[in-house]
Structure 1
Amino acid sequence: MSATTTSKGERRRRQLIEAAAELLREGGFEAVRHRAVAERAGVPLASTTYYFDSLDDLIAGAVESSAVAELAAIRDQVDSVSRRRRGARATVDLIVTALIGADDDPDREPIVARCERLAASARYPEVLAVHARLASQFLDLMADVIRRSGRRASREDLRNLLRLAQGTMLGSMIEADAHPRESVRDALLSVIDVLAPPVG
């Protein structure tokens, strides 16, 4: 950050990040521009360069804000899951709901936004750094779902489950008749008993 951090400065920085996160959700990375962010936040245009070293720095802040909000929502879901032995389908359903959303949720925008953020990691080093910082928290949530389902998995197996889910979600979104939840469910069902077998 260019400016010395003050309470007013931190509030302004937060305003800009929230505005950028809204634009990111609505229109993807192309929608996040200095002028658009300043207008959405209701602040002078110069604020975007005063509080952020670059546009990529601002985008990374928006990505992190969105991802942290998603993590909190997933944590709330996982915390409400009872502990009991579950079969493959029930376990996979919990993972899919946590990572992608419920089947009865018709809103595809959160899935599209998540796919864009994942794909952007290859182009934006700052976004890649955000994903690297938050990856362990996603793995912790996945591990909790597995434990609550009476299963076990190594950290590497959890990582492979997450990679499979994310890769399948990305791949399914470019198909003409995309059904990302079904696609991820089918992919995880084929490996869940191997990567996260029941305990005992």
Structure 2
Amino acid sequence: MGAKRGPADPERRERIMAATERILLENGITGLSHRAVAREADVPLGSTTYYFATLDDLLDAAIRRLSERYARALHEWGAALGEVSPGELVEALADLVVSQLRDNRAELVLSFELSTAAMRRPELRDSALLYAETEREVLSAHTDEQTARALSRVLDGLLLQSLAAAAPPDRADITGPLAALLTP
């Protein structure tokens, strides 16, 4: 099938975005190019630059979209918790870490890759911080702002170390740091 053209392809921008997400999740930031996206989306190369003039524009749009999807899921998770005790929050967060590592590994890797890239590329900082801002916002509904900030940082550390480890963490490796903050 050849690339669709013109008005016969009203979904072109969406296909470009979906292709960008797939490339980022499979190959990371270094795998992203206008050419790769055009090939993956089955659109002419000029279409990618028509909608997204630079790679940073394309990256930013894709990261924001992925972040919005993560934010919706995390807000749903937080709302489903309802009122919880600190001990129940420890267990719920441990379940969240386990499910993230099991079900969303590619998204986590991309999130940390983006954070690392933002250290040298200031134009990526706003996008890179969306994940942490969402975590703090959701956690603030279940604890005070300072504890929510600390929990977000502990969660990031747990997830990052778990992604790099040869074996997944056991439950005590996850609940220990969380309990130290929530149930000292």
TM-score normalised by length of structure 2 = 0.77
User: Across the two proteins, how many residue pairs are aligned to each other?
Assistant: 178
Question: 1:95 is matched with which residue?
Answer: 93
DSSP 3-state at the match of 2:109: helix
Question: What pairs with 1:97-116 in structure 2 (closer than 5 Å)?
Answer: 97-98=95-96, 100-102=97-99, 105=102, 108-116=105-113
1:18 aligns to 2:15 (yes or no)? no
The answer as to whether partners of 2:67 and 2:130 remain within 8 angstroms in 1 is: no
Hey, what does 1:52 align to over in structure 2? 52
Kindly provide the CA deviation profile for residues 118-166 of structure 1, in whole angstroms up to 9, marking residues without a partner as x.
333323333311234564433221122x2xxxxx31x233212211211
Question: Which residue in 2 is equivalent to 1:69?
Answer: 69
Q: Do the aligned partners of 2:101 and 2:159 also contact (CA within 8 Å) in 1?
A: no
Equivalent AA in structure 2 for residue 30 of structure 1: T
Tell me the distance in 1 between the aligned counterparts of 2:108 and 2:172: 13
The aligned residue for residue 149 of structure 1 is none
Does the 8 A contact of 2:28 with 2:113 survive in 1? yes
Change (3 A) 1:87 1:157: closer
SS of the aligned residue for 2:167 comes to: coil
Aligned counterpart in structure 2 of residue 156 of structure 1, from 135, 146, 149: 146
Amino acid at match of 2:90: V
Partner of 1:171 in structure 2? 161
1:121 match: secondary structure? helix
Distance in 2 (alpha carbons) for counterparts of 1:118 and 1:104: 18
* 2:114 alignment partner in structure 1: 117
Give distance in 2, aligned partners of 1:11 and 1:91.
Answer: 42
Q: Which runs of 5+ in 2 are unaligned?
A: 1-6
Aligned AA (1:190): A
TM, length-normalised to structure 1:
0.72
Q: 1: distance between equivalents of 2:146 and 2:69?
A: 25
Mapped contact 1:13–1:51 kept (Cα < 8 A): yes
